[in-house]
Amino acid sequence: MAKSFLGKLKAKWDEGKFVCVGLDQGSFTFDKKIIDQTFDLVCSYKPNAAFYKEAELQKTVDYIKANHPDIPIILDAKRGDVENTNKAYVKAIFDDLGADAVTVNPYLGGKSLQPFLDRADKGIFVLVKTSNPGAGEFQDLIFKIIAEHVVTWNKNGNLAVVAGATYPKELKKVREIVGDMPILIPGIGAQGGDLKETVKAGVNSQGQGIIINSSRGIIFAPNPKEAALSLDHKIKEALK
């Protein structure tokens, strides 16, 4: 039986790997070079659906699955619609594309997300506190409520949350609410999040639980392997 998303992720954490490389270029040829240089340093890859034509995204996912099946793939798609539409998204993302996890928007409520929640073998990352400037306009009013709801929705133990490194106080609060649940943490690197503060705020009771995403800071670096290795070292230092 194939290992679940959380099983794959936990195995990577146990190896001391917490770096997630965000693939935002939209080209399989480009992605292949990045993957070949970083596969031994990452806990996951996160292709952003917005940048890809379908064929290029499929090639990237297929390449990771064929060559590094132990590395989970998080599709950054931020999906969230009415229940019937979400059923179609679930089929496209998990059954057709073959991703291990996906980011989803909770704005339409838990019932609408049920097709995602039901996929116990897959990781469902609910947006709670995003890293972008202006995120607080609405999220500061409700991010704690969303985090609390994610905990109640987590009947299958397959849920996780997104909380940005650019808001470490809010990240710490999210961790307090969701317990040991995985947190995908964007905002390190180009967006300016403080890594040491982020790790301290985001780590769970096992000293794990964090997926530190870097996109531009790695994929556009002169040497992507060195950039990933540097981030890996900095995370390990922050965990001490």
Which CATH number goes with the domain that contains 172? 3.20.20.70
Q: How many domains does the chain have?
A: 1
2-11, 18-27, 121-130: which range is least confident on average? 2-11
- Tell me the average pLDDT across 172-183: 98
Catalytic residue IDs: 78
Confidence of residue 193 (pLDDT cuts 50, 70, 90): confident
| pLDDT tens-digit readout, 68-119 | 999 999 999 999 999 999 999 999 999 999 999 999 999 999 999 999 999 9
Q: What is the pLDDT of residue 234?
A: 97
Q: What is the extent of the structural domain holding 74?
A: 5-239
Q: What is the pTM of this model?
A: 0.97
Q: Is the pLDDT of residue 156 over 70?
A: yes
What is the chain's mean pLDDT, rounded?
Answer: 96
Confidence band (pLDDT; 50, 70, 90) for 1?
low
The pLDDT of residue 3: 85
In the prediction, which pLDDT does 192 show?
A: 73
The CA distance from 54 to 32, in Å, is 16
